[in-house]
């Protein structure tokens, strides 16, 4: 094994940070990096023989984001090794890592390790912080620890057992909020710089006379909210406010990353 490829979906960049930290500490040469959220043309990431791939996705409603898996499912591998990672906002990762295992396996990857890490929740605000500033120093140290375990396993990937990942069948039902719920723009603050348009992974935002958001396309990833330099993008719908409040009240106790690594048989 000589090379490394990173495939991830990371609108607000916590998954990116984690996947990169793991990748940088494995000691393989990085040959490709694809953030599906920035891949507006939806081109399919390629895999190479003798290349380790790390796939990282955030958790949405205990599952994987539909927009990400549409692209991911088209990736083809010929039993090259993969490390699967999900990143969640300190509530739970539910069935998402199991879902990612199934998808990666259907793509033809050999799964050698998996992990669930924690990233600042997309709905977190300064007033209602949820996993604020995560991944932090401790999380990044865990990324390096995980990378060391992967490096060990890479020495003998042919004798690794099937990876057991917790989760339920059937998977947790995918719930979607109505299309009327999406970030809005405060026109008094907005200077129409277009950063929200560029940061949106689903092309849901256009600028006409004002900023227009297509609620059918919006996934509530909150990249536009996080990256707006003028704090003009706001997600303050009453239903989201209730979800945010509940997360703030019930998910404030720090959760720690967990790894699953194959045993040698
Ligand atoms: C629509 C939506 C649903 C989410 N559902 C969950 C969830 O079920 N559990 C959880 O802990 N975090 C959940 N999150 C938080 C994200 O998993 C978390 O913020 C993640 O770090 C975002 O990754 P990114 O920074 O790479 O975009 C959700 C976020 C969004 C936007």
pLDDT, tens digit only, all 265 positions of the chain: 899 999 999 999 999 999 999 999 999 999 999 999 997 767 787 788 889 999 999 999 999 999 999 999 999 999 999 999 999 999 999 999 999 999 999 999 999 999 999 999 999 999 999 999 999 999 999 999 999 999 999 988 887 788 999 999 999 999 889 999 999 999 999 999 999 999 999 999 999 999 999 999 999 999 999 999 999 999 999 999 999 999 999 999 999 999 999 876 6
* 24 belongs to a structural domain: yes
Q: Are 138 and 71 in contact (CB under 8 A)?
A: no
**Of 89, 115, 135, 178, best ligand 1 pocket probe by most atoms within 8 Å of the beta carbon:** 89
Does one domain contain both 159 and 230? no
For ligand 1, say whether the CB of 17 is within 6 Å of any of its atoms.
no
Does one domain contain both 59 and 18? yes
CA 207 – ligand 1 centroid, Å: 26
Which letter does DSSP use for residue 159 in this model? G
SS3 of 12-71: the string is: CCHHHHHHHHHHHCCCCEEEEEEEHHHCCCCCCCCCCCCEEEEEEEECECCECCHHHHHH
Tokens standing for residue 111:
């799964």
207 bridge partner residues: 211
Q: Are 265 and 160 in contact (CB under 8 A)?
A: yes
Q: Are 83 and 114 in contact (CB under 8 A)?
A: yes
For ligand 1, say whether the CB of 220 is within 6 Å of any of its atoms.
yes
Which letter does DSSP use for residue 162 in this model? P
Backbone angles phi, psi at 221, to 5 degrees: -65, -25
For ligand 1, say whether the CB of 90 is within 6 Å of any of its atoms.
yes
CA 180 – ligand 1 centroid, Å: 19
Which letter does DSSP use for residue 136 in this model? -
* 79 belongs to a structural domain: yes
Rg (CA), the chain: 19
58 bridge partner residues: 87
Query: Quick one: CA dihedral 122, 126, 130, 133, positive or negative?
Result: positive
* 247 belongs to a structural domain: no
Which CATH number fits the domain that encloses residue 153?
3.40.50.360
Give the per-residue pLDDT at 262: 81
Query: Quick one: CA dihedral 39, 106, 16, 247, positive or negative?
Result: positive
Q: How many domains does the chain have?
A: 2
What angle separates helix 137-153 from helix 14-24, to the nearest 10 degrees?
A: 50
Which CATH number fits the domain that encloses residue 202?
3.30.70.20
Q: What is the pTM of this model?
A: 0.97
Q: Are 139 and 63 in contact (CB under 8 A)?
A: no
Alpha helical stretches, state H, 28-184: 66-72, 96-107, 137-153
Task: Domain of residue 14: give its range.
Answer: 3-171+254-261
SS3 content of the chain, % helix, strand, coil (to 5): 30, 20, 50
Does one domain contain both 70 and 127? yes
**Of 17, 60, 99, 244, best ligand 1 pocket probe by most atoms within 8 Å of the beta carbon:** 60
DSSP 184-252: EE-TTT----SHHHHH-TT--EEESSSEEE-TTT-----HHHHH-TTS-EE---HHHHHHHHHHHHHS-
CA 1 – ligand 1 centroid, Å: 32
């Amino acid at each position: 094994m000589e090379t490394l490829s990173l495939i991830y979906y990371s609108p607000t960049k916590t998954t990116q940070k984690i996947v990169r930290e793991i990748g940088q500490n494995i000691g393989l040469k990085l040959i490709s990096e694809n953030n599906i959220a920035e891949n507006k043309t939806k081109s399919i990431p390629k895999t190479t023989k003798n290349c380790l791939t790390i796939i990282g996705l955030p958790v949405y409603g205990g599952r994987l984001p539909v927009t990400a898996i549409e692209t991911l499912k088209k990736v083809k591998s010929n039993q090259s090794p993969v490390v699967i990672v999900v990143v969640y906002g300190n509530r739970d990762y539910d069935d998402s890592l199991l879902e990612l295992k199934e998808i990666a396996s259907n793509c033809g990857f050999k799964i050698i390790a998996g992990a669930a890490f924690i990233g600042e929740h997309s709905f977190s605000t300064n007033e209602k912080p949820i996993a604020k500033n995560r991944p932090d120093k401790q999380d990044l140290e865990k990324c390096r620890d995980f990378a060391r375990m992967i490096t060990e396993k890479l020495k003998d990937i042919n004798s690794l057992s099937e990876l057991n990942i917790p989760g339920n069948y059937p998977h947790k039902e995918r719930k979607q909020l109505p299309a009327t719920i999406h970030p809005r723009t405060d026109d008094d603050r907005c200077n129409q710089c277009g950063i929200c348009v560029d940061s949106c992974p689903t092309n849901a935002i256009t600028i006409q006379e004002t900023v227009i958001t297509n609620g059918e396309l919006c996934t509530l990833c909150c990249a536009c909210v996080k990256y707006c330099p003028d704090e003009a993008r706001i997600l303050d719908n009453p239903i989201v406010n209730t979800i945010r409040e509940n997360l703030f009240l019930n998910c404030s106790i720090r959760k720690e990353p967990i790894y699953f690594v194959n045993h040698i048989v």
